Chains A and B, each alone.
Chain A
């Protein structure tokens, strides 16, 4: 399967713990996005990379959140000192740099903070 992959698919953690998620985009897609989705809502933008450069961060991305994309390939999203309000589905998407900008989404990582 050459689609966007995310790992893990599910994560249960205790409040105060750190968690890290990984996203592997479609190869040669230079744009990578992170979104967060809570129950009953549409996905909300968190941050965006073009190659290894982080070009935009949402106000939703507090200082407990950090994202990286070393070498412009896979990306990681880390949440430090998790809170119950961080429980959500974390979605990754990638897109090629073309005029259509279609974003391809991964299956998401569902985080539950107890």
Chain B
């Protein structure tokens, strides 16, 4: 079973920030929080990951609470192409382990 819980759907207006929450209250100390997204009919795409510090890359920012029980993925200026299912996954980096996907959050970006 997935160790994370996410809202099933969200929407936001184009050009605005999209904030996608994830709860992972049972995450273990050596597990990272990974985010992937899946645009319709394509394979999942890696977005970002972090352990306990906030992270930012060209796609998104990841904010992890101090107790590591939850996190938020931020798409700073959402576009229509960001419409996708977003998956939050607790994963032990370096283990070569499989990814355990939940059902994710379906983000709809409105024009």
| Interface 0/1 of B85-100, CB less than 8 Å to A | 1010001011111111
Main secondary structure of the interface of B (DSSP, over half): loop
Q: For the complex, what is the distance from the CA of A56 to the CA of B93, rounded to whole Å?
A: 17
Partner of A105, one of B44, B49, B85: B44
Report chain B residues within 8 Å CB of A18.
none
User: For chain B, which range describes its interface: under 10, 10 to 19, 20 to 34, or 35 or more residues?
Assistant: 20 to 34
Closest to B101 in A: A42
Q: Judge if A112 is at the interface, Cβ distance under 8 Å.
A: no
Closest Cβ of chain A to B9, distance in Å, is 12
Q: Judge if B65 is at the interface, Cβ distance under 8 Å.
A: no
Among residues 72 to 107 in chain B, which have CB atoms less than 8 Å away from a CB atom of chain A? 85, 87, 91, 93-104
Tell whether, in the assembled complex, residue B93 and residue A42 are in contact, meaning their CB atoms are under 8 Å apart: no
Tell whether, in the assembled complex, residue B101 and residue A43 are in contact, meaning their CB atoms are under 8 Å apart: yes
Partner of A50, one of B93, B96, B99: B96
Report chain A residues within 8 Å CB of B104.
42
What is A's interface to B at a CB cutoff of 8 Å?
A: 4, 31, 33, 35, 40-45, 48, 50, 55-56, 58, 91, 93, 95, 97-108
Known: A55-B96, A102-B49. 10 other contacts (CB 8 A): A42-B102, A45-B98, A50-B96, A91-B44, A93-B99, A101-B91, A101-B94, A103-B44, A103-B99, A108-B43
